[in-house]
Amino acid sequence: MANEEKSQQPAASTTPTPANDRPPDRLVRHVFWKYPLLSLVLLVVVAVIAAAVGSPNWPKDTIAAVTKDNPGGAIMAFTQELDGTATSTGNAQEFGMNDPGQVFVMGPLRQAAPMLSSDIQSAIVTYDAASPQQQTSWASAYDKALGTIMPSGGGAMSGIASPDYTKIDTLKGDFGPVPVLVKADLQLAQNGFLEQYLQAVEPGHSYHLTNIWLYDHPNMLNTAVDQGLTDDQWGMVKERGFPVGPWYLIIPGVFHVYFPGGTTGTGFVLWNLLFAAILLFVVPLVPGIRDIPRYLKLYRFIYRYPAPGELEKSAFVERHGATNGGAEAAGGGE
């Protein structure tokens, strides 16, 4: 075996040539001494980049700020939570929460009732006394009416429109106590009560319900659309207000944007599993495909080949011997 190897490498200087690009597998001492230096250099590099460039840190939305910024959107969110058309209603089971109409609208109102006006208190009583069908029909009618006071296009936001809050009192119809209730809830949201209430309902999961409510409000998705962060805008590889995002998610990103069904959960997971299966099994096992590296010969740029005469230098021979140790001696081999 050893003789065979020697006979294959007659001369010490085996620079890569088309005739023979096999590097010597003579053993040398591992260059571990370079690692402390590399670690130090990389520590400094990472620290300097971190200090100079920072990292994405866009302040969180709060319910108070969002509802002051866009009260019409909040009115719409509360109404849709009551009539069962809110985002959170569709996902309530998955979020592990009860009926959003109760959690986000009626719950906070009941708790705050003693501090609220008698009009609001009687509106709560009226609503609670009505049948579920009646409650939904009031809220649906109001939801429909809100749709008539949407700004007529041209707004900065290209996502979901919000009702014009200044026209809210002009709406007429069979809304029951719903307009009074959602307006009262808007007040609770704007003065910070709702946020604290929702954080306290689930101790240990402070942001669970507040995030779910903020997603019912149109602002969050509209901001995402404006910032190019949604499914069709390569949102997966981007950050808000920061140039460098998770670029390494580009392959899942391609599935997400271009592949059929890639924006649905099931489709996205299946495409990624297929890609993982190709990497795990096809690349290393399928004849032909597993031989691609051998034909591409990129290894010539990777292996270290000795400079002419390097292996014959007396210092090298002194340290590592004149003969070829072979990879087997390092526990290598097939």
d(CA 174, CA 272): 50
Nearer to other proteins, 69 or 174 (CB): 69
Nearer to other proteins, 174 or 290 (CB): 290
Non-local CB neighbours of 79 within 8 Å, separated by 6+ positions: 139, 142, 143, 146, 178, 182
Nearer to other proteins, 113 or 225 (CB): 225
Nearer to other proteins, 91 or 121 (CB): 91
Three-state SS for 160?
A: coil
Nearer to other proteins, 61 or 164 (CB): 61
Non-local CB neighbours of 141 within 8 Å, separated by 6+ positions: 173, 174, 175
Residue 242 per-residue DSSP state = B
Nearer to other proteins, 172 or 304 (CB): 304
Tokens of 83: 């009539």
What's the residue count for the chain?
A: 334
Q: What minimum distance in Å lies between the beta carbon of 190 and other proteins? A: 19
Q: How far is CA 123 from CA 119, 127, 230, in A?
A: 6, 6, 39
Q: What minimum distance in Å lies between the beta carbon of 5 and other proteins? A: 8
Q: What minimum distance in Å lies between the beta carbon of 79 and other proteins? A: 20
Nearer to other proteins, 174 or 319 (CB): 319
Residue where the block lists tokens 């009226």:
126
Q: What minimum distance in Å lies between the beta carbon of 175 and other proteins? A: 29
Q: What minimum distance in Å lies between the beta carbon of 44 and other proteins? A: 11
Tokens of 245: 């995002």
d(CA 94, CA 157): 29
For residue 150, how many other CB atoms are within 10 A of its CB? 16
Q: How far is CA 254 from CA 96, 233, 261, 271, 333, in A?
A: 31, 11, 12, 10, 39
Identify the CA nearest to 5 among candidates 333, 326, 317: 326
d(CA 42, CA 304): 23
Q: Are residues 103 and 209 in contact, defined by beta-carbon separation less than 8 angstroms? A: yes
Q: What minimum distance in Å lies between the beta carbon of 185 and other proteins? A: 20
Nearer to other proteins, 10 or 154 (CB): 10
**What's at 203, amino acid-wise?**
P
Q: What minimum distance in Å lies between the beta carbon of 277 and other proteins? A: 10
Q: What minimum distance in Å lies between the beta carbon of 269 and other proteins? A: 6
